[in-house]
Structures are given as C-alpha cells and as structure tokens.
Amino acid sequence: MFGLRWSCSASPSSRVGLRLSSSSYFAPYHVPLARTRRACCWSRCPNPEGVIRSPDLVELEYADLNLKDFYGAGCVGHVRIRQHVNPLSSSFATPVKVPEWDQVFSDPSLPLMVDIGCGSGRFLIWLAKHFPECRNYLGLEIRHKLVQRSQFWVNELGLKNIYFMFANATVSFEQLVPTYPGPLTFVSILCPDPHFKKRHHKRRVVQKTLVDSIAKNLSLGGQVFLQSDVLDVAVDMRDQFDVHTDVLKHIDFLDPQFTCDEQGWLSKNPMGIRTEREIHAELEGAKIYRRMYQKT
C-alpha cells in the first residue's frame, strides 16, 4: 500500500500529497476463492484446506479498527444484504433531507471527502481514524443495512469527523453537497455496482447529472478518484469524467509521482488502504482500473 499524507489545510486549493512506498504494498494472492452463502462469519468458518479467503484478508487489512460485532452473533459486523439494488426504484427517487452539519461533524468548516457507494464503510472509517484533523468524511450508500452498521461502528469508535447517510447519490448529491459549509476537496467512487446488462446501464451510479454536479461543486485543487475491477465500468466512468477536461485534468499530467500504464490507468492505489471489493478482486487475480482527476 502507499502511505497517504493528507494536507490538513482547510484551504480549497489544498490537495492530497502522497508518499510512495512500494515496499509495503499488499501484493495480490492468485489463488481460488472459496465461496459460501452461509450466514456465518468467514473467518470463523472451518477451513481445512487452508484456502485464503477475501474476508480473512479484509479483517487483516482493517484489523487496527478493532470493529465490534453489530448483532452480537460472534461474527464481526456480519450483515446479509442484497448485492445489487435498483436505484431507479421510486423508493430511491426522492433526495434525502440535508442534515444539520454542525450536529454530525464537530467542525463542519473542514474540507469534505465524499465516498459515493461507500459499501460497508470500512474504507472511509479507516481514513477518518487515521487522518482525523484533515477532513470530514461523508459516506453515501443506497443499502440501508450497511449504513446502519457503518454508523454503529462510527459511534463505537467515537469518531466525530465522519457520517454515513442512506442516499441515492445520483439523486441527492446536488442537494447535499452545496449546503456543506466547508470546501469539497475529494470525491471517491470505488468499484460501484456494475449492472452488467446493457439495459441496466442506466442504473449505474455514474450518470451525467452526478458527474456535472461533482465537477461544479469540487473546489479548486480538489480531486476525484475512480476505481473498478470491471473494465467496461471503468471505461464508462472515465469517458463521462473526460467530458470535463476543461476543468478536470488527469493527475499524471499534473504530478509526476503518479504513473499510468499504456492505457492511462493509474499503476497503483494511492489511498493507503484497499477497499473490500479491491481485496476480493485482487485475490481472484483481477486487474484494478483507476483514474484520478484534479480540478484546475
């Protein structure tokens, strides 16, 4: 992994600085993934074959969070959820109510990072714990059970710089972010639901309205980080953000410490921690496609 040095300046022009350390990068394991649908904790299930399982690696990656059981069933925060939901459903069509920012963050003037489709929330919680003075962190997730568990963990850890909301980001982003008192300096969209069928592409979270809103509300010097283990999804996200090349420049053109492959994908994860989906995909030997933009 790479060590991430967040700039703690509240200036809208501040940007993320990175300390590259390839020696500590968590290399992928190319072994078969054992699958199960049982509602038990992976790490506690018998594993006589000694197969490396992605949930075990997730627990290792986030071990320092020491997250408590959500349901007290002996499984670390186990929640059974639907993997994919239809964001076009009428139940997700109404923008969420804007929170009282001074009630959810101890200092709402700090720069804001928004993680769209934050999933379990571990990734964002890790950042909030390790970089508490630099930013506030807002996670938007369309699956309510995950939001409940994430906020439970936040409360257990006593973090005052992070908040999770049950929201359809495509619908609610424009209503939420402009009301935040501080600057929007970072947006991440990491391994969103792929919705593979062509007729379902309209369900993908990255739509023109969301991209336009991000480009408009992002502060000068702010960054957007995109990531997917599905090439078609990564290309779709890239193409939509490339529409705004007048204000959003790919990071390798601005900072030489970022390197890309021949197709223009970032060579390494710059965040200092991997998402759960990223861990799972690398375990299966999949390639991760990444892009980072900076507003100029």
Alpha carbons 219 and 60: distance in angstroms, whole number = 35
Please state whether beta strands 218-228 and 289-295 pair in parallel, antiparallel, or not at all (unpaired). antiparallel
Record the tokens describing residue 228, joined without a space: 């997917």
Bridge partner list, 115: 139, 188
Whether the CB-CB separation of 240 and 224 falls below 8 Å is answered with no
Distances in Å between the alpha carbon of 48 and those of 45, 51, 54, 237, 293?
A: 10, 8, 16, 41, 45
Which of 193, 212, 252, 255 is catalytic? The answer is 193
Identity of residue 278: E
Listed in sequence order, the residues at least 6 apart from 90 whose beta carbon sits closer than 8 Å to its beta carbon are none
| 252 assigned to active site | no
Alpha carbons 65 and 159: distance in angstroms, whole number = 12
Could you list the active site residues?
Answer: 193
